[in-house]
A and B are shown apart, each in its own frame.
Chain A
Amino acid sequence: MTTATDPLEAYIAAAATALDLPLDPAWHAAVKANLVVTLQHAANVAAFALPDEAEPAPVFKA
């Protein structure tokens, strides 16, 4: 059971305010479910150790 003290729910509410995004309470559950999946994928990527010197794929050319 999720409560108002669920950190992710608090994060979503704060992010919506910071981004000036209208967030209908009816959408919360689906937004949270999607965010949970994305954060899991992000954690999977972050778990792969790369040296500090590893460059990102896109390279800007002046």
Chain B
Amino acid sequence: MSKDLSWSGAADIAQAVANGQTSATAVIDAALARIDTLNPQLNAFTAVTAERARAKARAIDAAPDKNALPLAGVPFAVKNLFDVAGLTTVAGSKINRAHPPAAQDQPLIARLEAAGAVLVGALNMGEYAYDFTGENVHDGASRNPHDLTRMTGGSSGGSGGAVAGGLVQLALGSDTNGSIRVPSSLCGIFGLKPTYGRLTRARSFPFVSSLDHLGPFARSARDLALAYDVMQGPDPEDPVCAQRAAEPAMPLLARGLDGLRIATAGGYFRKGAFPEALEALARIAKAAGASAEIEIPEAARARAAAYVITTVEGAALHLDRLRKQANDFDPAVRDRFIAGAMVPATTVVQAQRFRRWYREQVLKLFERYDAILVPATPCTAPKIGQQNFTLDGVDMPVRANLGLYTQPISFIGLPVVAVPVALSPLPIAVQVIAAPWREDVALRIAHALEQMGAAAAPRPNL
């Protein structure tokens, strides 16, 4: 029996493989064929691991108990800053191409594969993750499946494009200031930035240790929860990964909105918002029964502090490369890092002190509310190469402002699910923000919104 499973969910594919309705080999062959056909248009993949994927699929087909594999046969791909055994971890750069291949998979890859998922390749990203567009001067821009002339958003651009375009059911990306949530928004898919320290970052190329998170993308909240549950758990190889046992979210999804107190945040999170961002927020807030509008105090200052920490820590990481190989950087990234290297260190200390204060204030809000809703991006996907957008007659730079609403949230490591709203002609997402370690709350809300039809990952015309 051959049925096109490109648009089926991860859970449905796993069930079909476990039931014998299809084989992992058939699923993976179809995914690889689809990638072969569509990647020239989408430019989501920078490497396709076809041989490895087929071997893994055969192993799954030979497994005696496929019901024990919650992701049996599900194709997934990872941003190319994740170590994949035998591939060089390029992290969107030219410079890293000279590094030796990775010896071992990043642990989240290993955990997904242990659950039966099949890695099919590595995905395009903004150079060294210092990017909100998904464009890359070395590998070309990732293109938005909903409109190929538009950006996917970044820096996990290929992750957004691959999932939104039906090439894979699941993708992994990273989020420092918005790099999961921005492509989720512009590509119209679900993305989870977990609590800082929830998922192991071992064997991934870093950007800003203070702010880096890894997390999944999917086309449904259920698939997001499924992937997330499989990936959880401590990792002694990552000193930042919390010593917390896995806290499965899947069993809690069915609780829906029951008993949850949800508010929207205004003020800063309305400034610079295009009508689509406000429309999406209004629809989600109404469906979620958001009872109040609150203010997140000093959000603008939080964004400023995150900006300072980002540029300085990033510069420190790359200092030696800036000394020896400056010409091999994307010039836009290079000049930001050079400037970052020159920023007085006292500014970072001040930013980290402010961070503790801000965290305490925001956590007080979570005494009264279980979740807070804000837009994910100010606008839908700009054109590839677009430098500015105009709102109310005011010209604003695209790159810096795409992360306006995401940055104050990741600054203090709160878990967020980006839920897509299928506006026409382009989708846009809303951030469902929960208290630390309460990914279950954000996922429950996302799932409920999807069940109600308020949130959905629209299918592109490809």
Contacts and interface: CB of A to CB of B under 8 A. Distances in A.
Interface of A: 11-12, 15-16, 19-24, 27, 30-32, 34-35, 37-42, 44-46, 48, 50, 54-58
Interface in B344-366: 344, 347, 349-357, 359
Dominant SS among interface residues on chain A: helix
B353 A56 contact: yes
A48 B356 contact: no
B338 A39 contact: no
A34 B335 contact: yes
Interface string B391-424: 0000000001000000000000000000000000
B350 A45 contact: yes
Given A11-B342, A27-B331, A56 B301 contact: no
Interface of B: 210, 298, 300-301, 303-305, 307-308, 311, 319, 322-323, 326, 331-332, 334-336, 338-344, 347, 349-357, 359, 400
Contacts of B319: 19, 21
Nearest to A27: B335
Given A41-B307, A42-B304, A35 B342 contact: yes
Contacts of A31: 335, 338-339, 342
A24 B96 CA distance: 22
A39 B343 CA distance: 7
A20 B323 CA distance: 7
B100 to A, nearest CB: 26
A49 B301 CA distance: 12
Contacts of B349: 56
30 contacts: A12-B342, A15-B342, A16-B338, A19-B323, A19-B341, A21-B338, A27-B335, A30-B331, A31-B338, A31-B339, A35-B339, A38-B339, A38-B340, A38-B343, A41-B304, A41-B307, A41-B308, A42-B304, A42-B308, A42-B343, A45-B308, A45-B347, A45-B350, A48-B354, A48-B357, A50-B350, A50-B354, A56-B356, A57-B355, A57-B356
A56 B304 contact: no
Contact of B305 (A20, A23, A27, A45): A45
Nearest to A39: B343
Contact of A22 (B298, B303, B323): B323
A57 B361 CA distance: 13
B352 A56 contact: yes
B178 to A, nearest CB: 16
A16 to B, nearest CB: 8
A45 B323 contact: no
Central interface residue in B319, B338, B341, B352, by most chain A CB within 10 Å: B338
A48 B338 CA distance: 27
B240 to A, nearest CB: 10
A42 B357 CA distance: 16
A42 B351 contact: yes
A39 B351 CA distance: 12
A56 to B, nearest CB: 4
B288 to A, nearest CB: 30
A57 B350 CA distance: 10
B38 to A, nearest CB: 36
A30 B332 CA distance: 8
B342 A42 contact: no
Contacts of B354: 45, 48, 50
A-B pairs with lowest CB-CB distance, top 5:
A34-B339, A41-B304, A42-B347, A56-B352, A57-B355
A39 B344 CA distance: 9
Contacts of B347: 38-39, 42, 45-46
A45 B339 contact: no
Central interface residue in B332, B340, B354, by most chain A CB within 10 Å: B354
Nearest to A23: B338
B188 to A, nearest CB: 30
A14 to B, nearest CB: 9
A28 to B, nearest CB: 9
B451 to A, nearest CB: 37
B355 to A, nearest CB: 4
